[in-house]
Structure 1
Amino acid sequence: MPDRHEAGMKTRRAVLGDAHVDRAEAAKTAFDAPFQDLITEGAWGTVWSRPDLSRRDRSLITLALLAGLGHWDEVAMHVRATVNTGATPDEVREAMLHVAIYAGVPAANHALKIVRSTYADMGIEL
């Protein structure tokens, strides 16, 4: 596998977009740089860069996990990333149905509000 940081940055940019990553990099400080490196290398360079699941599948799994755990800012960020991963609004809705059954209706209900609002902000009609 190539350098995990390099691979992670490439995957992170492909999924989240250059603008998002550029903002995150510009906001990085000496204090949180080790955390940002951990995310880039661990999440993006190791897990998201593996070949056995598509980015679309990883996107849907990530959204379901984030919704189930109540990480609302991250839900919005990963909804925005669906334009790059290929996960459709219908597929995201289906993932939220799984969240309702396996993680709870309140989590899915709140996540759906965020999903709808994020898609509206993106100019995507549902």
Structure 2
Amino acid sequence: MTEQQKQIGGGRRTIGDFSPKLAELTDDILFDDVWNRAGLAARDRSLITVAVLIAGGDADQLGFHLRRAKENGVTETELIEAITHLAFSAGRLEAMTAITVAKQVLAA
């Protein structure tokens, strides 16, 4: 696997003043450790994360991870195709919610 940019979380920046422990766990374990393991490329981790968020109907976190996926090399076309594919695996309503979020995020 080629060298990739280190993934950095934003927990401390976004919720650190309100929930310091959750921010610490998010930044230090999820991002600093799990996201930076050598077993999967950040691009693949992003696609997996986006798929799980769509399947779970988690529109609140989806915008952040769509942007992160683009930063990690996933194209807009691939993200739209993944959402379309998930309409038949995760549910049409979840896909419709996700495509609405994607349209807003990717247009920005």
TM-score, length basis structure 1:
0.72
Number of the residue aligned with 1:3:
none
Measured in 1, the distance between the counterparts of 2:95 and 2:59 equals 11
- The reply to whether residue 11 of structure 1 matches residue 10 of structure 2 is no
Q: How many residues align?
A: 103
Q: For the residues of structure 1 that align with 2:35 and 2:70, how far apart are their CA atoms?
A: 16
Q: Could you tell me how far 1:25 is from its partner in structure 2? A: 1.8
- Higher normalized helix content (fraction of residues): 1
| Structure 2, unpaired ranges of 5+ | 1-5
1:64 aligns with 2:51: yes
Output aligned runs, 1:47-62, within 5 Å. Answer: 47-62=34-49
Letter in 1 for 2:74: A
**Which amino acid counterpart does residue 101 of structure 2 have in structure 1?**
I
Go from structure 1 to structure 2 and tell me whether the alpha carbon gap of 1:87 and 1:38 turns closer, same or farther (over 3 Å shift).
Answer: same
> Comparing both chains, which one has the higher relative contact order based on Cα–Cα distances under 8 Å and sequence gaps of 6 or more?
1
Q: How does 1:34-49 map to 2 (within 5 A)?
A: 34-49=21-36
Quick one: distance in 1 between partners of 2:55 and 2:14?
A: 30
Given that 1:75 and 1:111 are in contact with CA atoms closer than 8 Å, whether structure 2 keeps it comes out as yes
Which shifted more, 96-105 or 54-63?
Answer: 96-105
Q: Give the aligned CA root-mean-square deviation in angstroms.
A: 2.0
* 2:79 is equivalent to residue 83 of structure 1: no
Unaligned runs of 5+ in 1: 1-9, 14-20, 122-126
Match of 1:25 in 2: 13
CA contact (8 A) 1:97 1:108 kept: yes
Change (3 A) 1:49 1:108: same
Q: With structure 2 as the length reference, what TM-score do the two structures score? A: 0.82
- The equivalent residue for 2:3 is none
Q: How many percent identity over aligned positions?
A: 31
